[in-house]
Amino acid sequence: MSDTVVCCTDGSDVSLAAIEAGLSLLDRSRWTIQVVTAVPDIILDPGVPGPMPGGSFSTAFVATDLAAAREEARESGREVGVGIAGRLGLAPESVRVLVGPPGPVVVDHLAAVGAALVIVGSRGLGGAARLVLGSFSEHLVRHAPCPVLVGGGEVEAPPAGPVVVCVDGSERSVRAGAAVVPLLARDLPLAVATVVGPPRSVGEGAFEELVERRQADEAEQILVAAATALQVPDTEFLPLVGEDAADALVALAEGESVRALVIGSRGRGGFVRAVLGSTADRVLREAPCLVCVVPGLE
């Protein structure tokens, strides 16, 4: 892993809001920040008539025209990137213009530079619109080789509250948190959260209290183990109760000030990388805060 943080932008307010909120979680002096835009490659369409007799193209014309069109596209992308970089207080030299399908070329770039983190905006501007991720951000979440921090227009800049690492008792979920915590500014408040199911109806009185106590003890053990592994002093414990983990985590973000949720791309169910775990997928689409999805770590 390098010290590079990649901020993806298409020039939209959503991408700018995501980048501003995401960078507020970092000590920027520790990182090399790149602003990345992607422009399509320009190819010759044989179905379009050319300027030569019979509607054909000369070799010289094709070479000159394609080169000019490609340079124009790159310059347009650079203007977008430089404009965003300026609003972030970054130099034009921080801008990288990639050519090709946005998802694949950015994933390749992340691997090439050994990116520590990539920041991207969601498609939505808040509320139900967030439920539909843009194809680009979804591609990154499923295929990026590093943690992906996703935000939309609904995210405060700077956001408030703790960064919440979501754990489920698996080593994978703890490793996901451990991959992100070192990236954060050292003075940010941190919390760990886990979700246990509500007590089943198994009777009343002392036996019901025993079941509830056992569930509380299980949650505490998970949280203590996670906090110990993360090695951050004064970590807050957030034991949550709910039938569905995604519902409980989204409700937490809706009801409390949460700076960001950190969650592994797959949990105990062992989903393959390209298939996002159902909890991570729903939290990503529904939580009104920054969400950092960490790729499967073996």
CATH number, domain of 84, equals: 3.40.50.620
Do 4 and 139 have their domain in common?
A: yes
Considering only residues 190 and 270, tell me which one the structure prediction assigns the higher pLDDT: 190
Q: Return the percentage of the chain with pLDDT > 90, whole number.
A: 56
Tens-digit pLDDT profile for residues 59-68: 555 667 778 8
Mean pLDDT check: name the lowest of 79-83, 108-112, 215-219.
Answer: 215-219
Average pLDDT, the chain: 84
Q: How much is the pLDDT for 74? A: 93
Higher pLDDT, 123 or 232: 232
- Among 115, 142, 158, the domain-final residue is 158
Q: Specify whether 170 is located in the same domain as 297.
A: yes
> How confident is the model at residue 202, as a pLDDT?
55
Lowest mean pLDDT: which of 43-47, 119-123, 189-193?
43-47
Q: Is residue 160's pLDDT more than 60?
A: yes
Looking at 127, 158, 189, which one is the last position of a domain? Answer: 158
pLDDT at position 44 over 80:
no
Residues 31, 140: one domain? yes
54 and 198 both lie in a single domain: no
- Of the chain, the percentage scoring pLDDT greater than 70 comes to 80
Number of domains in the chain: 2
Burial class of residue 156 (count of CB atoms within 10 Å of its CB; 0-12, 13-18, 19+): middle
Confidence at residue 201, expressed as pLDDT on a 0 to 100 scale:
58
pLDDT for the residue 167: 94
Residue range(s) defining the domain that contains residue 294: 160-298
Q: What pLDDT, on a 0 to 100 scale, did the predictor assign at position 153?
A: 66
Asked if 151 and 168 sit in the same domain, the reply is no
More confident residue, 267 or 100: 100
| pLDDT confidence of residue 62 | 61
At 132 the pLDDT is 44
Distance from C-alpha of 230 to C-alpha of 180, rounded to nearest angstrom = 10
Residues 184 and 120 in one domain: no
Output Rg (C-alpha) for the chain, integer angstroms.
Answer: 23
Average pLDDT over every residue of 205-226: 82
What's residue 270's pLDDT?
38
The confidence band for 125, taking pLDDT boundaries of 50, 70 and 90, is very low
Q: What is the pLDDT of residue 177?
A: 94
Lowest-pLDDT range of 89-98, 226-235, 268-277, 280-289: 268-277
pLDDT band at 203 (very low <50, low <70, confident <90, very high): low
Q: Are 189 and 100 in the same domain?
A: no
- Rounded to an integer, what distance in angstroms lies between the CA atom of residue 295 and that of residue 273? 7
pLDDT at 175 over 60: yes
Top pLDDT among 94 and 209 is at 94
Q: What is the mean pLDDT of residues 227-235?
A: 91
> Do 286 and 235 fall within a single domain?
yes
- pLDDT grade for 54, boundaries at 50, 70 and 90: very low
Q: pLDDT for 239-259, tens place per residue?
A: 998 889 999 999 999 988 899
Picking from 119, 138, 158, the residue at the C-terminal end of a domain is 158
Kindly report the CA angle at 195 between 135 and 161, in degrees rounded to 5?
A: 70
If asked whether residues 52 and 14 sit together in one domain, one would say yes
Place of tokens 């393959």: 272
Q: Give the pLDDT mean for 155-165.
A: 83
Gap between the Cα atoms of 24 and 9, Å rounded:
17
- Quote the pTM value: 0.85
- Angstrom distance (rounded) from CA 70 to CA 284: 35
